[in-house]
Structure 1
Amino acid sequence: MEANVANEEFQEASAQEAAENAATANNSSDVEISIEALQAQLAALAGELVSAKEQALRSQAEAQNARRRAEQDVEKAHKYSLEKIINDLLPIVDNLERALGSIDTDNEALTATAEGIQLTLKSFTDALARHQVLVVNPQGEAFDPQFHEAVSAVPSPDVAPNTVINVFQKGYTLHGRLVRPAMVVVAKGA
């Protein structure tokens, strides 16, 4: 009987030890699972951090680009704000030039008038030049479609083809940008 009791106690102790080992194994596998879960969560958070940093850099670059574009737009607005009024004033310059061209310089009575118109035209063109409005007068130059508008082409053996032989109306630029093209007659090859 003592052997049975000892055997039962041994079995109970073995069962208890097996249960403890199983609990320890479960705990260690739980620990391993929780470590793996934490590592996966850490990797996911690291990926989110990298993504957030990239998004922040993109947002910062977009803000800088928007600020730069806005500054350029303001600069252009200041630089070319005179364009509309210049377009309104250019016919006055044209009329003054036509008036000078129509005055008979042989008539002494009109000489004072011609001088007055000449001074008015000079002060007008000087005022335009102070605001970076420059004349495009391509007489004798090669035709440039960016600054000239060809009204007609006539054969001319005296000059090279595509040379401006007559200017009907002068052109003007504002800070290098064309406001009005020069209206020209171009020589064409024979």
Structure 2
Amino acid sequence: MALRSFQRCLRLGLNYPKSATNMCCSGKLSQFIPSSWVNNHQTFTTSKTISRENSTDASGEPLKKEVESPLETDSERKLKLEIEKLNEDIGIITKKSQELEDKYKRALADGENLRKRLTKQIDDAKIFGIQNFCKDLLEVADILAKATESVPKEEVSDSNPHLKSLYEGLVMTELQLQKVFKKHGLVPMNPIEEKFDPNLHEALFQQEVQGKSAGTIVVVSKIGYKLHERVIRPALVGVAKGP
């Protein structure tokens, strides 16, 4: 029986169990098996094993036998789908996070700009809150200066004590008013013999003045005033005319 099975395997080119092959080749059955069959079977088995071990792919790398399980393939496919879904969710969340961060930074910048503007407005209100009041007082100062200038200086003497007292009172009042102006940052501008500046002066007329270059202020009809470097009233002047 073993002999028939072995012969059938040899004819079909099948592998026969090694233990059976050894038994057949070395035992009593060897006398009934041609030695060429045994040699052919051993050569076929050895060459088949060598060819399987020496198989390579197109790149020259040895082929590795991969055993794929249907269950493992399905689980890998599900895992890939889950990974893709997670990557999409991460992309959406990252985009939303960037948008929220951009809005947050813009809100911070707007808040900081608003704070700076309000701070500047508060500071300006503290400094220039008396601007309208100063403008009204300037008219009083002008009238007081005109009154002082209109008093004849030759009549201010001890022989005329009433006029002298009045004049001295006007001068003292004007000086005190100028001290108050200076205390609060209100500074007069008397630009005689200076170059005309449209930001500080207002030209009333032009006239030819010998020895004066064009644009030189030769007459000051009304002095100007600045409140903390802000012009609240430009000086009214006459400017020399060029040739």
Q: Find out whether 1:97 has 2:107 as its counterpart.
A: no
Residue in structure 2 matching 1:35, options 66, 83, 88: 83
Q: Tell me if structure 2 keeps the 8 A contact 1:105–1:111.
A: no
Q: TM-score, normalised by structure 1?
A: 0.84
CA deviations on 1:73-95 (whole Å, 9 max, x unpaired) are 10011110010000110011100
Q: Does 1:69 align with 2:117?
A: yes
Q: How does 1:138-153 map to 2 (within 5 A)?
A: 138-153=191-206
Q: CA deviation at 1:32?
A: 1.3
- CA distance in 1 between counterparts of 2:195 and 2:112 reads 43
Between structure 1 and structure 2, the one with the greater Rg is: 2
2:207 match: secondary structure: strand
Residue in 2 aligned with 1:121?
Answer: 174
Name stretches of at least 5 consecutive residues in structure 1 with no aligned partner. Answer: 1-20
Higher relative contact order (CA 8 A, sep 6+): 1
CA contact (8 A) 1:103 1:114 kept: yes
Indicate the SS of the match to 2:236.
strand
Q: Does 1:132 align with 2:162?
A: no
Return the alpha-carbon distance in structure 1 between the equivalents of residues 76 and 216 of structure 2. Answer: 94
Secondary structure, in 3 states, of the residue corresponding to 1:106?
helix
Query: Is the partner of 1:31 in helix, strand or coil?
Result: helix
CA-to-aligned-CA distance 1:138-174 (integer Å, 9 cap, x gap) = 0111111111000001011121111111110010000
Q: How many residues align?
A: 171
After superposition, residues 1-190 of structure 1 pair within 5 angstroms as 24-107=72-155, 108=157, 109=160, 110-190=163-243
Q: TM-score, normalised by structure 2?
A: 0.67
Distance in 2, matches of 1:158 and 1:111, equals 39
Q: Which has the higher strand share?
A: 1
Q: What percent of counterpart residues are identical?
A: 26
Offset from partner CA, 1:85-125 (integer Å, 9 cap, x none) = 00110011100111111111111322332211111100001
Map Cα deviations across residues 40-59 of structure 1 (whole Å, 9 max, x no partner). 11122122222222221221
AA of the residue aligned to 1:189: G
Shift of 1:24: 5.0
Please list the CA deviations of residues 30-72 of structure 1 after superposition, one character each: whole Å capped at 9, or x if unmatched: 2211211111111221222222222212211211111111111
Secondary structure at the aligned position of 1:72 is classed as: helix
Identify the range of structure 1 (63-72 vs 81-90) with the bigger mean alpha-carbon deviation.
Answer: 63-72
Deviation at 1:189, TM superposition (A): 1.1
DSSP-derived class of the 2:153 partner: coil
C-alpha distance in 1, partners of 2:224/2:141?
11
The 1-side partners of 2:217 and 2:83 are apart by: 85
Paired letter, 1:44? I
